Amino acid sequence: MALGAQRPALTSMFVRQGLWLTGIGIACGLVVAFVTMRLMSSILFNVSPVDPITYATITAGVLATAWFACYLPSRRAATVDPVNALRAE
């Protein structure tokens, strides 16, 4: 902001970067979950190795949590006066 960035641009940049990292984590987690469930299906009874409702629900929950975790601090940080922030350093 000290160099001229607008508040919405700063917030969207912060949220976009956070969701990008979340997407990478979700992709890695889904791969591990599929492999693990294939191995665990022989141990557990009446459990489908690929349950799309469970995977979709958990993925949506993680995305919503990550969005809130990125958006709320970035909105608060965007309201700080840049002059006061630079003086504190």
For tokens 């979950």, what's the residue? 33
Q: What is the pLDDT of residues 8-59, one digit of tens each?
A: 888 888 999 999 999 999 999 999 988 888 788 777 777 777 778 888 999 9
Q: What is the pLDDT of residues 55-80, one digit of tens each?
A: 899 999 999 999 999 999 988 888 87
Which sequence spans correspond to the domains of the chain?
22-79
Whether 3 has a pLDDT exceeding 70, the answer reads no
Query: Helices 52-78 and 7-40, interaxial angle, to 10°?
Result: 160
Which residue did the predictor score with more confidence, 27 or 88?
27
The two tokens of residue 30 are 């889904």
How many H-runs (helices) and E-runs (strands) does the chain carry? 3, 0
pLDDT score at 2 = 52
**In 3D, which of 16, 17, 52 has the Cα closest to residue 34?**
52
